[in-house]
Amino acid sequence: MLDALRLRRSDRVLEIGTGSGYQAAVLAELAAQVYTVEIVEPLARAATQKLAELGYRNVWTRVGDGYEGWAEHAPYDAVIVTAAAPEIPAPLIAQLKPGGRMVIPTGEHGGVQVLQLVRKRSDGVVERTPVLKVRFVPFTGKAGRR
């Protein structure tokens, strides 16, 4: 997923699904700013604490529904989503900068899903390229209820 994003050191990245914070730490080494959203409050709190203890100053976490993204810090050069959604959430596409990239698994829970590379062209047209078949945990919150 990280390879598909083709991150640059100057990138502002949105991560959906903080989990333990491991990927946020990797992203912090590759990009300028990382904004990460976790729907499970205890996970978000633990990851925030661990990232601070490790000295990461370019990662910001919040508790929330990843379907909505984090509009206050948009637009993002890259978005990485670590749970499968039935379809790509419109707010995440809206928060992607023209020229930006997103990787997201899509498909139904319990079945084969497809990791997609989404590119927003400079004219705003969104292109989707299937990368490979995957199985991820389901997206919860608003996207999981669709």
Question: What is the layout of strands, in order, in the sheet containing 113-120?
Answer: 59-63, 33-38, 12-16, 76-81, 96-106, 113-120, 126-134
pLDDT of 105 > 90? The answer is yes
8-state DSSP, 20: T
pTM above threshold 0.85: yes
Distance between the two ends of the chain, CA-based, in angstroms? Answer: 25
**What whole-number distance in Å separates Cα of residue 64 and Cα of residue 36?**
10
* Average pLDDT of the residues of the chain: 94
CA neighbor of 76 nearest in space, from 17, 38, 119: 119
Which class does domain 2-138 fall in?
A: alpha beta
